[in-house]
Amino acid sequence: MDHFNYRDGALYAEDVPLSRIAEAVGTPVYVYSSATLERHYRVFAEALSGLDAHIYYAMKANSNLAVLNTLAALGAGVDVVSEGELRRALAAGIPASKIVFSGVGKTRGELDFALRAGIHEINVESINELHLLNDVAGALGVTADIAIRVNPDVDAKTHEKISTGKKENKFGIDIDRAPEVFALAARLPNLNPITVACHIGSQLVDLAPYRAAFLKLAETASALRAAGIDIKRIDLGGGLGVPYKGEEPPSPAVYGDLVREVFGGLDYQLMFEPGRLIAANAGILLARVIFMKNGDERRFMILDAAMNDLIRPALYEGHHDLVPIVERPAGALEAPTDVVGPVCESGDTFAKGRALPDIADGELVAFKSAGAYGAVMASSYNSRLLPAEVLVRGDEFAVVRRRQTYEELIGADSLAPWQNGAVGQAAE
Ligand SMILES: *Cc1c(COP(=O)(O)O)cnc(C)c1O
């Protein structure tokens, strides 16, 4: 459920007409609903009631400070995957004690920064990383609480580019090697291995891979305890899917029931890292039609948003419903339309043959479910400006990231020292 609905024929974000935001901020612009973010977080938290559950929002889904702040106010911690994200989390006011650090390739500098910040836990993904972290912790004179991410070799049955829990994926250590790797970590003087972690993929629409992974995790954790390793927590990762086009992913309640079924009687603190579930349907990307173009074979809708603003369709065939800001009457005639951006690549296509009503040049349209893995993946390819982001709350809205300026876009470039002439003089 989200808070983007038609009222009297106009699309609103909560109590704000989207046309008003487009007028004030321009397009393309991401618009987030506070009420939807809060609702998703609460529904997930309530689904885990009765468990010793701790939620670390996976901020790579949407790392805007205002979004982080909204979730932090509800008690969320965050899962970060880079020093940049860690800095953002701290800047948003999230206490270090509520930050965990995941990722398959953290550098010495990043580990050092994380330990100095005093974060809750670092999720280690390889033996080399164990040694590096032990080294860095030793130099700082601290002992690092760590999770070791295991790869349970479970097929998440999601898109191959967002599947992470199979043996051939780069993530975690083979679950069969957990006893030996945890034993090694326990021997290293500056590490304190207390958590078994796992994250098998994103946009999961089936509970079965979770069940398989959870059972393996529970078994592994108890084997580790039996071997004398003091496992205190299990991190179940994120990955719960959302409906982009009529999928019916397991509800948080059903997911919570499975967690209770597997871990309910066991004495572990449980950690969760949902990203998409919290943010996806809490955001839309608002764009304007530059031109409609009727070819012999196809009808094209050319938008002022492009793959650099929202890359999910180009990157992993992501689907986003597209709706006009001015509501069409039920049963309005629709025709197959290719929805594209202005970028000079055929891959800059949001949808092919999408059934859409007649839409005029200059009209506003919205891509639904764009709150996760949208703005965070934006680039300035084709020297297009990074889009603006807006947060709505009730009848208020605020720009929470201003649109990039041309000065910022170009200003970081410079000429090499041997290019001392002004451009244009070289031809003489
Ligand atoms: C990406 C990621 C998540 C969040 O995945 P969602 O599908 O957005 O819920 C959680 N944990 C880790 C380690 C991740 O890399």
Convert the pLDDT of each residue in 360-396 to its tens digit. 999 999 999 999 999 999 999 999 999 999 999 999 9
Residues 147 and 124: beta-carbon distance below 8 Å: yes
pLDDT band at 207 (very low <50, low <70, confident <90, very high): very high
**pLDDT for res 423:** 63
Q: For ligand 1, what atom is nearest to the CA of residue 373?
A: 8
Which of ligand 1's atoms lies nearest the C-alpha of 202?
Answer: 7
Q: Which residues pair with 174 in a beta bridge?
A: 151
Mutate to test the pocket of ligand 1, among 71, 273, 276, 376 (most ligand atoms within 8 A of CB): 273
Higher pLDDT, 161 or 333: 333
Residue 43, classified by CB atoms within 10 Å of its CB into exposed (0-12), middle (13-18) or buried (19+), is middle
62 lines ligand 1 (CB under 6 A): no
Give me the pLDDT at residue 188, please.
98
pLDDT average, residue stretch 236-260: 96
Kindly list the distances between the CA atom of residue 204 and the CA atoms of 32, 235, 271, 275, 359, in Å, as whole numbers in the listed order.
23, 17, 18, 12, 34
Judge if 88 and 105 occupy the same domain: yes
Per-position DSSP letters for 58-100, written without gaps between them:
ETTS---HHHHHHHHTTT-EEEESSHHHHHHHHHTT--GGGEE
pLDDT of 165 > 80? The answer is no
Asked if the structure places residue 392 within a domain, the reply is: yes
The yes-or-no verdict on residue 84 having pLDDT over 60 is: yes
In a domain, 388, yes or no: yes
**180 and 298 in one domain?**
no
Domain CATH code at residue 90: 3.20.20.10
More confident residue, 169 or 58: 58
- What is the structure's pLDDT at 422? 64
Mean pLDDT within 225-233: 97
Residue-wise pLDDT tens digits, 289-317: 999 999 877 899 999 999 999 999 999 99
217 shares its domain with 303: no
Is 197 a residue whose pLDDT tops 50? yes
Q: Is 60 in the pocket of ligand 1 (CB under 6 A)?
A: yes
185 with 226, same domain: the answer is yes
Q: Closest residue (by CA) to atom 1 of ligand 1?
A: 58
pLDDT for the residue 224? 98
Do both 129 and 64 map to the same domain? yes
Residue 421: predicted pLDDT: 65
Q: How many domains does the chain divide into?
A: 2
CA distance 78 to 391: 19
Residue 420 domain flag: no
Q: Which atom of ligand 1 is nearest to the CA of 241?
A: 7
For ligand 1, whether the C-beta of 304 sits within 6 Å is: no
Task: Indicate if 261 and 301 belong to the same structural domain.
Answer: no
The closest-lying atom of ligand 1 relative to the alpha carbon of residue 60 is: 1
Parent domain of 205: 32-279
The answer on pLDDT for 420 being more than 80 is: no
Q: Residue 425: pLDDT above 70?
A: no
Q: Mean pLDDT throughout 14-36?
A: 98
- Mean of all residue pLDDT scores within the chain: 95
Give the mean pLDDT of 328-340.
Answer: 95
Q: State whether 164 and 55 are in the same domain.
A: yes
> Within a domain: residue 267?
yes
Least confident of 220-229, 298-307, 412-421: 412-421
**Contacts for 108 with CB less than 8 Å, ≥ 6 apart:** 132, 135, 136
Ligand 1 pocket, residue 102 CB under 6 Å: yes
- Cβ(158) to ligand 1 under 6 A? no
CATH number at residue 375: 2.40.37.10
Distance from residue 290's CA to the centre of ligand 1 (Å): 35
Active site residue 344: yes
What's the rounded Cα separation, in Å, for the pair 261 and 154? 19
Is residue 172 lining ligand 1, measured as CB closer than 6 Å?
Answer: no
The answer on pLDDT for 245 being more than 90 is yes
The reply to whether 253 and 353 lie within a common domain is no
The pLDDT score that the predictor gives to residue 428 is: 46
Number of Cβ within a 10 Å radius of residue 269: 14
| Strand ranges in 130-237 using DSSP code E only, listed in sequence order | 144-151, 173-174, 191-197, 233-235
Determine if ligand 1 sits within 6 Å of the CB of residue 237. Answer: yes
| Residues 331 and 252 reside in one and the same domain | no
For atom 10 of ligand 1, the residue with the nearest CA is 238
Q: pLDDT tens, 126-143?
A: 999 999 999 999 999 999
pLDDT at 251 over 90: yes
Kindly give the residue spans of alpha helices, DSSP state H, lying in 77-207.
83-91, 108-117, 127-140, 178-187
Within 13 Å of residue 326, how many CA atoms lie on the same side as its CB? 10
**Ligand 1 centroid from CA 201, angstroms:** 7
Q: Does 54 fall in a domain?
A: yes
- Say which DSSP state 348 is in: -
**Cβ atoms within 10 Å of 53's Cβ, excluding its own:** 19
Specify the pLDDT at position 348. 97
Q: Is 64 part of a structural domain of the chain?
A: yes
Is 326 in contact with 363 (CB distance < 8 Å)?
yes
Task: Indicate the residue among 227, 251, 279 that finishes a domain.
Answer: 279
Give the end of a domain, one of 236, 252, 279. Answer: 279
Ligand 1 pocket mutation pick from 62, 100, 102 by most atoms within 8 angstroms of CB: 102
Would you state the pLDDT for residue 162? 74
Structural domain contains residue 83: yes
Q: Give residue 260's pLDDT band: very low, low, confident or very high (50, 70, 90).
A: very high
Q: Is 86 in the pocket of ligand 1 (CB under 6 A)?
A: no
Q: Are residues 262 and 121 in the same domain?
A: yes
Q: Quick one: what percent of the chain has pLDDT higher than 70?
A: 98
| Cα–Cα distance for residue pair 27/25, rounded to 1 Å | 7
What is the mean pLDDT of the segment spanning 342-366? 96
**pLDDT band of 255, cuts 50, 70, 90:** very high
Cβ atoms 94, 65 nearer than 8 A? no
Percent of the chain with pLDDT over 90: 91
Q: Are residues 248 and 355 in the same domain?
A: no
246 and 319 housed in the same domain: no
Please pick, among 1, 330, 333, 344, the residue that the annotation labels catalytic.
344
Residue 95 lies in a domain: yes
Which of 242, 261, 279 is at the close of a domain? 279
| C-beta of 278 in contact with ligand 1 (< 6 A) | no
Structure token digits, residue 358:
């007649």
- pTM for the whole structure: 0.96
